[in-house]
Structure 1
Amino acid sequence: MLAFANWSISVNLLLFAVSAAAVWAAGTRLAGYVDGIAQKTGLGQAFTGMLLLGGITSLAEISTVTTSAYTGNAALAVNNLLGSAAINVLLLAIADAVLGREALTTAVAKPATLLQGVLGIILLAVLSAIIVAGDIGVAHVGLGSCLLLLLCIGSIWLASGYEHRHVWTVVGAEKRERKQDTTDSAKSSSLQQLTVKTAVAAAVIVVAGFFLSQTADALAQKTGIGAGLVGLVLIGFATSLPELSSIVAALRHKRYELAMGDIFGTNLFNIALIFLADVAYTGGPVLREAGPFEAVASLLALVLTGIFILGLLERKNRTILRMGYDSLTAIVVFACGLVALYFLTPNS
């Protein structure tokens, strides 16, 4: 295994920058490919964004989680996932600023997006409860992480057919859908070509994501910042770059449900990856190593998701600083959450 920690800060910074550029380029193209697949298969933007875009952009977390857990750093593995969950939702506020002229939550008009957000809240609540109560180990794997994996699979199954059920319709949604343009990828490529391009972009994200997370981890060690806060912010942000690039690209094509489905879907997959960390960690259930810091981090992601769910329900098209009130509230809550987490950081 490459010893990133033995390399200088400048070398790790260079690798971090190159990897970030590769991830950004792949994520930008990935949004168009997935949108083309959604149009040609009829799966719908929200579900395709959750399953494909969310699943692929969460691949960057796999290398960090498995490596950290296998080397015995359970805190870094869990905090990376929880940090990504909170930061991913924060990316919606950044995307809202990119959209600019109207609040992002007024542009999302599908009930499937609401369902995905609510499912994420439920899983984050269960995760927090397991951390507080303590996980029960069976052959060094926790029953709690197994439960989270099953809940994630069940959530994907529940969301799979929901987008085509006409449970209710937002007024003006049909007009908004007619304004959406067909992406260049959908126009010029067949389903087979789109599948191959998607696989290539996913491979780039996996490889570059590995270097991105490992160099971030090395920089964290060399700068001497606490593992808990670093796993939440630095590595969490690094592994969230695919989501940022893909949702910005989706918004440029006015694929609002695709962008939000990407974030909610990624968070579902990130929670499921706790099971992977559990398998890789040989010291017992990985969530048994979690404490108040991790519980608060999980609740922070839950609250941020809830803020955007409220925005989707309220649908007030009022903006401040080029973003909706819900996005601004999410930024303030995230900043306050970081302050609270700083004081909860182990050995701080």
Structure 2
Amino acid sequence: MVEPVRRGVKGHPRSGPSIGDVARLAGVSAQTVSRVSTGADPVRPETKERVLDAMRQLGYSPNHAARALRRGNFRSIGLIAHQVIRTGESKTIEAVIEAARREGYSVSLVDVETPSSSDVSDAVQQLNHQAIDGLIIIRAETATPTALALPPTLPVAVSDSRFVGHHPAIGADQVGGSTAAVRHLLELGHTTVHHLAGPDDSGPAELRATAWRQALRDAGCEVPAIVRGAWSADSGYELGKALAQRKDLTAVFAANDEMACGLIHALHEAGREVPHDVSVVGFDDIDLAAHFWPPLTTVRQQFQQIGHDLVDLILRQLRERTQFTDFHGTVPAPLIIRQSTTPPHQRP
């Protein structure tokens, strides 16, 4: 028996089930099927499940491209990141996806191999082929604002302060948080603060190092030689073994919590107790920071707020049909004081 060929408008063959087929099987209107497909309007749970079950039975897939042409958008946001396994990137990505989903948008993620302008630009072209309404770039690092090949009308939001004046940006108050960390240690009575910095090709690492240096100068303190790590606990541990031999070392500001953890490990092996012998401050306030021993004093990056603000910035550009080129939103980065800092040579 030959199955009859379904015909669409003016007798043309139709390649698959239609929205009407789904509506008939589910016993609802075509409008209800459309509402379930787009997620734009609420549908009673039992009705939604009936429609979804009909879609599965018929193998129906909503035509997102056609809907985008009708509505003028694809309900999709592109997201470019580098080294997504790092704490800051992964938490920001998670927050972006959560905020986008709440607004009815999907997220297309591309993890670039290097944060160079060419790799980021290639990623933009890859996402453009997937049809996106806006683009979020999480710390392009070595890419420069003028070298990125971004479509001129595409709404963009970047979590990198170097892009201010070129693309709207959202970021943590790196300078304020780092300054607060150094001042806290100086106010405890430490005569200077050593810095375990991030890589020199990282924008956030440079901001934190610059703020550390300036805070010491403002206080009239000696500025020790900077020590650079690679963001990992392993690098903090290896560099910490050398730092632990310095008799003048009483306070360290580490550029992230992972390196702070490795440093504390090295200090412990060298017989130097934290915080009695050396006070340590980290940056990020990762979930484990409160469970280190001793619990880590650190600067809290509010990754969830940053991710939500990035999505909001894209949606504002879409609604207002304009780009906020000079916009720079700063999310506070408060100092969280725990037990890893104390006045020098005094037990807590």
TM-score (norm 1): 0.28
Larger Rg: 2
TM-score (norm 2): 0.28
Higher RCO structure (Cα 8 Å, ≥6 apart): 1
Q: Judging by fraction of residues, say which structure has more strand.
A: 2
